Amino acid sequence: MAKDSAGAFKLIANNKKAYHDFFIEDKYECGIELFGTEIKSMRMGKCSIKEAYVRIENGEAFIIGMNVSPYEKGNIFNKDPLRTRKLLLHRAEINKLAGKIAEKGYTIMPLQVYLKNSRAKVEIGLARGKKLYDKRQDIAKKDMRREVEREFKEKIRG
């Protein structure tokens, strides 16, 4: 388990698709409201945020589409895996995000789910959608970087 400056840090889920489809302009760390069997399932690494997004309703932030698999030993206490979960953010942060997503083209995407000091945290990002040509440019840059690294390794080997 990797160490963070604030203590223990264990990555549970990562949303690579968000970085491919969106420009991430701002990032926020927030807590998430979970029930007992859900956190147990998360500690086992059973969480997915591929199709998830964040919506702000009535001054509160909610994550929709996040899949937390049911805990095997949870029986009747298991909740719906795709239920809407509340995110724990400060009022000023929620107001700032609400103002930004009112603009055209902005959305809020979950980027990572991790455990920090035994608490589940979600990193969310203020995202603006990429056009097809932006995605092509990113792929071209990645290919160029990979080619340069390959040439560098060959020079070192001699």
CATH number at residue 22: 2.40.280.10
Share of the chain above pLDDT 70, in %: 94
What span, in angstroms and rounded, lies between the C-alpha atoms of 95 and 85? 19
What span, in angstroms and rounded, lies between the C-alpha atoms of 16 and 138? 13
Residue 16 is predicted with a pLDDT of 84
| Residue 131, token pair as written in the block | 């056009």
Q: Which domain holds residue 79?
A: 3-130
Model pLDDT for residues 96-128, shown as the tens digit of each residue: 888 888 877 788 889 999 988 888 889 998 888
Q: How many CB atoms lie within 10 A of CB 140?
A: 10
Tell me, yes or no, whether 151 lies in a domain. no
Is 81 a residue whose pLDDT tops 60? yes
Tell me, yes or no, whether 27 lies in a domain. yes
CB neighbours of 48 closer than 8 A, spacing ≥ 6? Answer: 13, 66, 67
Alpha-carbon 48 to chain mean position: 9
Total domains in the chain come to 1
Half-sphere exposure at residue 133, Cβ-oriented, CA atoms within 13 angstroms: 0
CA neighbor of 50 nearest in space, from 93, 111, 9, 107: 111
Tell me, yes or no, whether 148 lies in a domain. no
Is 4 a residue whose pLDDT tops 60? no
Q: Which amino acid is at 23?
A: F
Residue 62 is predicted with a pLDDT of 92
Tell me, yes or no, whether 152 lies in a domain. no
| N-to-C CA span, the chain | 36
